[in-house]
């Protein structure tokens, strides 16, 4: 729904049940042709018993080798934020040595899907009802002779995660990741700003500490019990995920032709306003902060509960003017201390150095 596959793209593979070969492909290609020495003429595209398939690069494929929704370099957007054509990839495989009937065709095994990071685990393939296809004019239907289906689950590998255990990469004297206390390439800052009588306001900042990677069409998934009552979001697109049973999870992403691209060493920001439920809203125990945060499908490391900022317990809402006045008093006190220190420093400089006797 909200997980992307970035460059260098996806790789899909399987193991043939018998001695099948791939005669030809359109829309993708096998990485390795394998040993096709048994074929003297009409050499197959791949004779590998476990072929690995990759997408074709855009802009460099002859028309005869293209297929609808192919040739994106293996890059796929998330289903929840982009138009459908950018979230699917199709290719066609012509298989040989598998027989010509449903009885002789055997189901391949060991399917896998890889991408940047840990990849996906696939279930065993099973025969499912065949798809129905409409002709271009919509007046004729055709059906697949047979169709396979399997489910995918994302593999969480903390050793390869780009967020939980990042590494500092150095290339000569060029620093590719900014040194920070948390040493993660992405930081999500959730700032509770104002507590109104019937609403409360939050500022979200996403900072990219990578000096070598842009995140195009990024997304941020947040879990919080008040996300089902968002009244306004500035500078981000927001959708509540409807399939979640408790309606407390939403996805944020950039505005089209605006901030869809998170540049290296850059940031994107937004402010949003929540409607307040007096029976549920509280400033205690970090309630105003998210329960879980995911960036591009990778779960972010949350701070421990005892590190959340302490907020005063008050039955009355914090008025913005009172909050501003408190900040002003703190600022004036700091300025007064700084000015006094400056004056004392100048007096000492006027006196000049004094000899010890």
Strand segments (E) across 97-198? 109-114, 120-122, 126-128, 132-134, 141-143, 147-149, 152-154, 170-171, 174-175, 186-195
Question: What is this structure's pTM?
Answer: 0.63
Q: CB of 230 within 8 A of CB of 273?
A: yes
Report the 10 Å Cβ neighbour count for 152. 13
3-state secondary structure of 307: helix
- What is the mean pLDDT of the segment spanning 218-235? 92
CA distance 280 to 277: 5
Please tell me the predicted confidence (pLDDT) of residue 13: 93
C-alpha distances out from residue 66 to 43, 58, 91, 94, 326, Å: 20, 10, 8, 14, 65
CA distance 22 to 96: 6
Please provide the CATH number assigned to the domain covering 170-307: 2.60.40.290
- What is the mean pLDDT of the segment spanning 271-277? 93
Of 218, 230, 205, residue with least CA distance to 82:
218
Condensed to tens digits (0 to 9), the pLDDT of residues 191-215 reads 999 899 899 999 999 999 887 888 8
Please tell me the predicted confidence (pLDDT) of residue 334: 47
- What is the mean pLDDT of the segment spanning 72-81? 81
Instruction: Give the residue with greater pLDDT, 178 vs 288.
Output: 288
- What is the mean pLDDT of the segment spanning 84-111? 84
Lowest mean pLDDT among 2-6, 81-85, 169-173: 169-173
CA distance 41 to 52: 24
pLDDT band at residue 60 under the 50/70/90 scheme: confident
Q: Report the largest interatomic distance among the alpha carbons of the chain, rounded to a whole angstrom.
A: 110
Please tell me the predicted confidence (pLDDT) of residue 242: 73
Condensed to tens digits (0 to 9), the pLDDT of residues 308-323 reads 766 654 444 555 555 5
Condensed to tens digits (0 to 9), the pLDDT of residues 285-304 reads 788 899 999 888 888 888 77
* Residue ranges matching CATH 2.60.40.290 in the chain: 170-307
- What is the mean pLDDT of the segment spanning 42-50? 95
Report the 10 Å Cβ neighbour count for 347. 9
CA distance 254 to 268: 8
pLDDT band at residue 80 under the 50/70/90 scheme: low
**Position 163 pLDDT exceeds 50:** no
Lowest mean pLDDT among 63-67, 113-117, 319-323, 335-339: 335-339
**Position 346 pLDDT exceeds 60:** no
Q: What is the mean pLDDT of the chain?
A: 78
Condensed to tens digits (0 to 9), the pLDDT of residues 127-150 reads 888 888 888 888 999 988 778 887
Q: CB of 65 within 8 A of CB of 27?
A: yes
């Amino acid at each position: 729904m909200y997980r992307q596959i970035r460059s260098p793209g996806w790789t899909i593979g399987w193991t043939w049940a018998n001695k099948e070969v791939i005669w030809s492909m359109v829309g993708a290609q096998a990485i390795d042709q394998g040993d096709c020495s048994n074929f003297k003429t009409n050499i197959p595209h791949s004779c590998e018993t476990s072929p690995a398939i990759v997408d074709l690069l855009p802009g460099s494929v002859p028309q005869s080798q293209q297929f609808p929704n192919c040739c994106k370099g293996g890059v796929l957007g998330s289903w929840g934020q982009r138009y459908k054509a950018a979230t699917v990839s199709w290719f066609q495989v012509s298989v040989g040595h598998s027989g010509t009937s449903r009885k002789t065709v055997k189901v391949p095994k060991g399917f896998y899907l890889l991408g940047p990071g840990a990849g996906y685990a696939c279930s065993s393939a099973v025969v499912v009802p065949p798809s129905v296809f409409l002709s271009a004019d919509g007046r004729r239907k055709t059906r697949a002779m047979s169709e396979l289906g399997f489910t995918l689950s994302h593999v969480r590998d903390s050793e390869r995660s780009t967020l939980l255990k990042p590494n500092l990469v150095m290339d000569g004297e060029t620093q590719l990741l900014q040194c920070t206390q948390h040493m993660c390439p992405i930081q999500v800052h959730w700032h509770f700003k104002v507590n109104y009588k019937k609403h409360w306001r939050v500022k979200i900042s996403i900072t990219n500490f990578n000096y070598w990677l842009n995140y195009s069409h990024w997304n941020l998934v947040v879990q919080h019990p008040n996300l089902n009552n968002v009244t306004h979001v500035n500078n981000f697109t927001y959708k509540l995920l409807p399939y979640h049973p408790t309606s407390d999870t939403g996805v944020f992403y950039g505005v089209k032709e605006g901030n869809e691209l998170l540049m290296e060493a850059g940031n994107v920001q937004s402010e949003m306003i929540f409607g307040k439920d007096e029976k549920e809203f509280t400033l205690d125990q970090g309630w105003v902060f998210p329960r879980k945060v995911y960036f591009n499908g990778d779960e972010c490391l949350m701070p421990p509960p005892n590190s959340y900022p302490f907020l005063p317990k008050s039955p009355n809402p914090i008025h913005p003017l009172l909050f501003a006045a408190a900040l002003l008093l703190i600022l004036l006190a700091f300025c007064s201390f700084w000015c006094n220190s400056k004056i004392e420093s100048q007096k000492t400089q006027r006196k000049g150095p004094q000899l010890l006797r």
